[in-house]
């Protein structure tokens, strides 16, 4: 994670291992940090990120028997956009342990879409919507 902190004129950085041991509250706090530029939550990027997550969810729902074990969601946004349209991206990454029907010698046919992935997306959308509704929820942004 890398977020420019306007007030300090430097980046808040976390390596890829930082999130592995986070509790639920720690994850929510870190998401708050990711969206906080040192002065405020960049709320204008939340709706387009949520829209992209919902679109990703719809796509995954349509993929019967696909499983995205240990994959990740990469969120990015431009906090210094001069455009009226917030610049943000949502990408699904890390497919090393993913599978689908007929992939290599995988004999397992999983029923339905990947409910664990759908559940994770639902949780992320819910957390983001909560941050949008209450951006100053008393989270420490300087940890």
Residue by residue, DSSP assigns 35-64 as TB-SSSB-GGGHHHHHHHHHHHHHHHHTST
Average of per-residue pLDDT values in the chain: 91
CA 122, distance to chain mean position in Å, is: 11
- Res 141: pLDDT: 46
SS3 of residue 31 by DSSP = helix
Residue 93 belongs to a domain: yes
Residue 140 belongs to a domain: no
Residue 143 predicted with pLDDT over 50: no
Residue 143 belongs to a domain: no
What range defines the domain where residue 129 resides? 2-133
Residue 113 belongs to a domain: yes
Q: Model-level pTM?
A: 0.89
What is the tens place of the pLDDT at every residue in 33-72? 999 999 999 999 999 999 999 999 999 999 999 999 999 9
Q: What is the CATH number of the domain that holds 116?
A: 3.30.470.160
Residue 141 belongs to a domain: no
Residue 57 belongs to a domain: yes
The band of 142, judged by pLDDT with boundaries at 50, 70 and 90, is: very low
Question: What is the number of domains present in the chain?
Answer: 1
């Amino acid at each position: 994670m890398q977020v420019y902190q306007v007030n300090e004129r430097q980046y808040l950085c976390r390596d890829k291992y930082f999130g592995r041991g986070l509790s639920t509250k720690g994850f929510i706090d870190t998401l708050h940090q990711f969206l906080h530029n040192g002065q405020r939550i960049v709320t204008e990027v939340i709706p387009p990120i949520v829209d992209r997550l919902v679109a990703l969810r719809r796509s995954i729902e349509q993929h019967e028997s696909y499983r995205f074990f240990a994959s990740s969601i990469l969120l990015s946004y431009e906090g210094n956009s001069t455009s009226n349209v917030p610049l943000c991206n949502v990408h699904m990454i890390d497919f090393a342990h993913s599978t689908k029907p007929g992939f290599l010698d995988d004999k397992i046919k999983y029923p339905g879409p990947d409910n664990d992935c759908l559940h994770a997306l639902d949780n992320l959308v819910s957390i983001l919507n909560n941050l949008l509704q209450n951006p100053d929820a008393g989270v420490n942004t300087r940890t």
